[in-house]
């Protein structure tokens, strides 16, 4: 049983997860639109944000009209919808109808007409139902924009999930510290170590802390550490870099995201230089973070630092091959992107994750989550640094 303070479900009433729908009212006024509608299932993160409802894998509808937020609850989920939805009305009428048709019925009852705003990825059949009911459908990015700035209750969810992610990383460091070098093999608990064995160790720790691995745990070793999304099986050998990227999801839908890189018995070559350079790039990126800064500045500073250490920053296979970071919330990747031109706002949560890769050498990435503040940033969860695994007494 993990310590109680790590329970990601330990929210108090004061910490209740609400959604402030006033941004929808502003979007409607700005576009002279009558209503906002979205349709999606439990895997649609805009729906998760709008409804806070962990519903089924079939579509349901959210409607905002005349200042009223309505969830058209799917069959068998009435009670759960009433428990979880922070809006005004849970509607159970016409549960057999398609979600888009049910949304149109809500608008009819409200006497709405004219333009209905939707996220651009609203299911096509839902848009057609609205059009057939006489509405003009237009897309809005208002939900994605609103999601970028986090409330305290959201930050608390992310902190808790990130603590679990750090425990997953700690397990990896402990396993690598325990592993014995046997020629060109690393042996742990009687067998050769593999990325799959490490991944299962991480995911067990995440489960023990009440969060889901969400299919996201990336463990690469040597060449596969240079593969940004490696989820296969590879031997983990002495001297090569072992990259572990842990992005669990908590029960309220918020993600954590943390990466550390280790090497057992490194020979002091590429991986040492890479680690030092990536640590410096991390510091350079963090130093730029504050509200009002152009997101691209953060990426440019990290790139400049890595270039100063002699790593390429202009290739898609060798060197710094990706952006410095991305927003994290109810999606693992959301606004803002740290390579974009937008100014960072206070309350946005982003990864800072410089890395360098070389298929002939390996990969080194160091990733943390931060919330941007008016005068800098706050780290959301911490884990120590160091290429060589050490015993940390836990």
Give contact residues for its own copies (rule: CB under 8 A).
1-2, 7, 9, 43-44, 54, 56-59, 76-77, 79-80, 118, 120-127, 137, 139, 189, 191, 196-197, 199-200, 203-204, 206-210, 212-215, 227-229, 231-233, 249, 251, 316, 321-322, 331-333
User: What residues are paired with 9 via a beta bridge?
Assistant: none
* Nearest distance in Å: CB 172, its own copies: 14
| Residue listed under structure tokens 């002091």 | 268
SS3 of 40-74:
ECCCCHHHHHHHCCCCCCCCEEEEEECCEEEEECC
| Rounded least distance, CB 349 to its own copies, Å | 16
Q: Which of 25, 24, 20, 62 is nearest to 44 (CA)?
A: 62
- The whole-angstrom separation of Cα 369 and Cα 373 is 13
Give the shortest CB-80-to-its own copies separation in angstroms: 6
Shortest distance in whole angstroms from residue 35 CB to its own copies: 16
Nearer to its own copies, 13 or 20 (CB): 13
CA–CA dist 83, 53 (Å, integer): 9
CA distance 158 to 256: 6
Task: Between 210 and 363, name the residue whose CB sits nearer to its own copies.
Answer: 210
Residue 328 CA to residue 145 CA, distance in Å, equals: 13
Residue placing its CB nearer to its own copies in the complex, 272 or 333: 333
Between residues 29 and 229, which has the closer beta carbon with respect to its own copies?
229
Q: Where are the beta strands (DSSP E) in 296-385?
A: 326-327, 334-337, 349-352, 355-358, 362-365, 368-373, 376-379
Query: Distance between alpha carbon 372 and the CA centroid of its chain, in Å?
Result: 16
User: Whole-angstrom Cα distance, residue 268 to residue 270?
Assistant: 7
Q: Which is nearer to its own copies, 251 or 283 (CB)?
A: 251
Kindly state the smallest distance separating residue 227's Cβ from its own copies, in Å: 7
What's the min distance (Å) between Cβ of 287 and its own copies? 26
- We find the least distance from the C-beta atom of residue 288 to its own copies, in angstroms, to be 23
Nearer to its own copies, 221 or 289 (CB): 221
Q: State how far the Cα of 259 lies from the Cα of 229, in Å rounded to an integer.
A: 12
Task: Say if residues 264 and 181 touch (Cβ distance below 8 Å).
Answer: yes
Which are the contacts of 109, defined by CB distance < 8 A and separation ≥ 6?
none
CB of 277 closer than 8 Å to CB of 356: yes
Residue closer to its own copies (CB basis): 289 or 306: 306
Residues listed for the chain: 394
**Minimum CB separation from its own copies for residue 272, in Å?**
26
Task: Using the minimum distance from each CB to its own copies, give the nearer residue, 190 or 393.
Answer: 190
């Amino acid at each position: 049983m993990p310590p109680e303070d790590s329970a990601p479900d330990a929210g108090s009433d004061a910490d209740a997860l609400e959604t402030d729908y006033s941004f929808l009212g502003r979007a409607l006024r700005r576009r002279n639109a009558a209503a906002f509608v979205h349709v999606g299932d439990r895997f649609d993160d805009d729906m998760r944000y709008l409804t806070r409802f962990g519903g089924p894998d079939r579509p349901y509808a959210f409607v905002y009209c005349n200042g009223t937020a309505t969830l058209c609850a799917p069959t068998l989920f009435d009670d759960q919808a009433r428990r979880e939805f922070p809006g005004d009305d849970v509607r159970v009428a016409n549960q057999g109808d398609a979600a888009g048709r049910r949304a149109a019925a809500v608008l009819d009852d409200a006497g709405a007409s004219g333009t209905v705003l939707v996220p651009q990825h609203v299911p096509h059949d839902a848009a057609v139902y609205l059009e057939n009911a006489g509405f003009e459908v237009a897309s809005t990015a208002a939900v994605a924009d609103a999601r970028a700035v986090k409330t305290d209750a959201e930050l608390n969810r992310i902190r808790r999930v990130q603590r679990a992610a750090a425990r997953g990383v700690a397990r990896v460091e402990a396993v690598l510290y325990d592993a014995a070098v046997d020629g060109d093999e690393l042996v742990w608990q009687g067998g050769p170590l593999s990325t799959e064995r490490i991944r299962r160790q991480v995911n067990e720790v995440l489960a023990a802390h009440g969060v889901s691995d969400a299919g996201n745990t990336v463990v690469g070793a040597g060449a596969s550490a240079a593969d940004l999304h490696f989820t296969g099986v590879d031997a983990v050998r002495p001297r090569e870099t072992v990259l572990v990227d842990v992005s669990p999801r908590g029960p309220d839908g918020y993600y954590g995201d943390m990466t550390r890189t280790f090497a057992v018995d490194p020979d002091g070559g590429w991986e040492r230089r890479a680690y030092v350079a990536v640590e410096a790039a991390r510091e350079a990126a963090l130093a730029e973070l504050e509200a009002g800064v152009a997101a691209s500045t953060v990426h440019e500073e990290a790139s400049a630092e890595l270039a100063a250490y002699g790593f390429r920053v202009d290739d898609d296979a060798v060197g710094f091959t990706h952006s410095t970071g991305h927003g994290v919330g109810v999606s693992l990747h959301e606004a803002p992107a740290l390579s974009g031109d937008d100014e960072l706002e206070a309350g946005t949560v982003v990864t800072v994750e410089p890395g360098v890769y070389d298929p002939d050498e390996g990969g080194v990435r160091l990733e943390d989550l931060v919330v941007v503040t008016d005068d800098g940033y706050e780290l959301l969860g911490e884990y120590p640094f160091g290429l060589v695994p050490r015993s940390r007494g836990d």
